[in-house]
Structure 1
């Protein structure tokens, strides 16, 4: 029973101006490398270690600043659905795995009803190593802010 309580999910919806295609394309193309230039206060490096940009099974190394500290992560692209503008990353190495058994993150962009722009649905699924570890709400906020920063650097609809 206690084990189940260690598995949790945080979700958030972020309104952006970009189309679902534009936002999704950032994550599935070599443009992901540009995130470090557009969000340098948060992302310091994005490197493809293995595979191809946007392909399931590819491995990406991240260097990022969270809660004032430089951290690293190695993620595998676990799932991708271009029709649904969905990409899921699963962390396989990194600082967050010192306190978590598993972490996965999904971004799914959908058209906003009744207008231009999109809603990006963020899903952060994780399993803490024990009850003494806080839920990663600050990581969720980091991802919300990152989504907004990426949007601010994408071409806006006319």
Structure 2
């Protein structure tokens, strides 16, 4: 019975890795403005924005349904532009015993970045499918954040 798993995807974006990482790690509450079709809101439940150990709650749309995920920020590595979130409550816990999102932004030679999303999970049963549709959500989210960051950079360049 295989219940442990890991799925990954890489998303190429134009924005700098450190800027993307700052949004994911320190300003996730701004993502609902960047990707309103995907993220409805992000609230801080305990701790401080951008600090490991803090607990945040995401309200998001997945497969046409509004869902929630309460997560603890397990790690923020600013040198590697990496953030690790562990889901502790919410809709994913109906299907998975454990669920972790790892987001890493790596600068690309010549500009832009590669965003790697790694989803690590332990399913409650073999019947639960791998979370490929969540990877698609992460890809969409990355592209929305990228678009916002690039528009913001363009506005700052014109100022």
Q: TM-score, normalised on structure 2?
A: 0.92
Aligned length: 153
Alpha-carbon distance in structure 2 between the residues aligned to 1:137 and 1:28:
23
Q: Which runs of no fewer than 5 residues in structure 2 stay unpaired? A: none
Alpha-carbon distance in structure 1 between the residues aligned to 2:135 and 2:24:
18
Alpha-carbon distance in structure 2 between the residues aligned to 1:8 and 1:156:
38
Aligned to 2:128: 133
Aligned to 1:79: 75
Cα displacement (A) at 1:156 = 4.2
Pairing of 1:48-127 with structure 2 (within 5 A): 48-113=44-109, 115-127=110-122
Root-mean-square deviation (CA, aligned residues, Å) is 1.2
Q: TM-score, normalised on structure 1?
A: 0.93
Q: Deviations over 1:77-127 (max 9, x none)?
A: 0111000000000000010110100100011011112x1100011100011
SS for the counterpart of 2:144 is helix
Q: Deviations over 1:116-156 (max 9, x none)?
A: 10001110001111111111110111111111111110134
Q: Give yes or no for the alignment of 1:12 onto 2:15.
A: no
Aligned to 1:151: 146
Alpha-carbon distance in structure 1 between the residues aligned to 2:127 and 2:113:
37
Q: Which runs of no fewer than 5 residues in structure 1 stay unpaired? A: none
Q: Deviations over 1:38-68 (max 9, x none)?
A: 1111100101111011111000011000000
Cα displacement (A) at 1:27 = 1.9
